[in-house]
Amino acid sequence: MEEQKVDHHLQQAFAHLREALRVSIAMVLTDQSSKEKIGKKWEVFFGEFFGMVKTQGKEHKLNLLSWISFPKIWRW
């Protein structure tokens, strides 16, 4: 089923992001001077991700971000 594929890929992505976050925190705790370099990597990642969402949305005439309730996200 296609929905299961979505679940699977999101779970994999989450596992990778969780590990990237863990490594990022460990690096900065070990070496405060790496904070700017690691922060830049996260900026690039989020910029590319949201850029991709925007581009795909325009290509398919869908507002992909409207599918998400941002107030629910920020409650965490």
Q: Are 38 and 28 in contact (CB under 8 A)?
A: yes
pLDDT at 76: 65
Query: What tokens were used for 19?
Result: 């590990």
Residue 65 CB neighbour total at 10 angstroms:
11
- Which whole number is the average pLDDT over 13-23? 98
- Which whole number is the average pLDDT over 2-23? 98
Q: Is 33 helix (H, G, I), strand (E, B) or coil?
A: helix
Q: Are 63 and 57 in contact (CB under 8 A)?
A: yes
In angstroms, the Cα distances linking 69 to 7, 65, 66 are: 18, 8, 7
- pLDDT single digits (tens) 24-75: 999 999 999 999 999 999 999 999 999 999 999 999 999 999 998 888 888 7
pLDDT at 15: 98
pTM of the model: 0.83
pLDDT at 42: 98
Q: Are 39 and 24 in contact (CB under 8 A)?
A: no
